[in-house]
A and B are shown apart, each in its own frame.
Chain A
Amino acid sequence: GNSVTQMEGPVTLSEEAFLTINCTYTATGYPSLFWYVQYPGEGLQLLLKATKADDKGSNKGFEATYRKETTSFHLEKGSVQVSDSAVYFCALNSGGSNYKLTFGKGTLLTVNP
């Protein structure tokens, strides 16, 4: 079946540091890939997405490139801020028109001033 594996956290960085959160997946066919972010006490929000190989999703300074050859979708940001502290989830679309998402376990990021 489909699965998503994220690097385990927590990840702690200083402000303005470079961020990478690794995500790899297993899926049949050609899934769409997503990063969601969850701020404390809130629900998940879509951060970015990519729908086909070599697509790059970007939003709020975050980027991720859909790499079919390595089945990866790593999240990067060049300079993190304290406000980026949150849990980040990698996910893939695992079901046709019903659009069921398969999530990774999440990575907690803490950015210190």
Chain B
Amino acid sequence: NAGVTQTPKFQVLKTGQSMTLQCAQDMNHNSMYWYRQDPGMGLRLIYYSASEGTTDKGEVPNGYNVSRLNKREFSLRLESAAPSQTSVYFCASRMTGGDQPQHFGDGTRLSIL
């Protein structure tokens, strides 16, 4: 019962490098989300996808792009990494309807040097 799987778990990049964070869920959920977690800031929404084929900006989208490849997969891309993007990134998914909870992956710890 994998749930939400994120890869890689850890990554170190140099400023200016590009990187794609992968996320896949096996729960047949319609909606998927990308957050970043920084000390003292809680979780902030970067992008979300309400359903396959749609994506929308969240609270902090600058410097990121996303792709909803299919119903299972939602990737986050950093085109030109900056030190300010050093963070822990979480992917989440949920079933549409009512107040179904979001289910989170274990995170990707990304350091930009």
Which A residues lie at the B interface, using CB under 8 A?
A: 4, 32, 34, 41-46, 49, 51, 89, 93, 97-101, 103-106
Contact = CB atoms under 8 A, between A and B. Distances in A.
Contacts of A49: 99, 101
B4 interface: yes
Interface residues of B, number: 26
Interface of B: 4, 31, 33, 40-45, 48, 50, 56, 58, 90, 92, 94, 96, 99-107
Chain A binding surface SS class:
loop
A41 B106 contact: yes
Given A43-B107, A45-B104, A105-B41, A99 B31 contact: yes
21 contacts: A4-B42, A32-B99, A43-B90, A43-B104, A43-B105, A43-B106, A44-B102, A44-B104, A45-B104, A46-B103, A89-B42, A93-B99, A97-B50, A98-B31, A100-B45, A100-B48, A101-B45, A103-B42, A103-B44, A105-B41, A106-B42
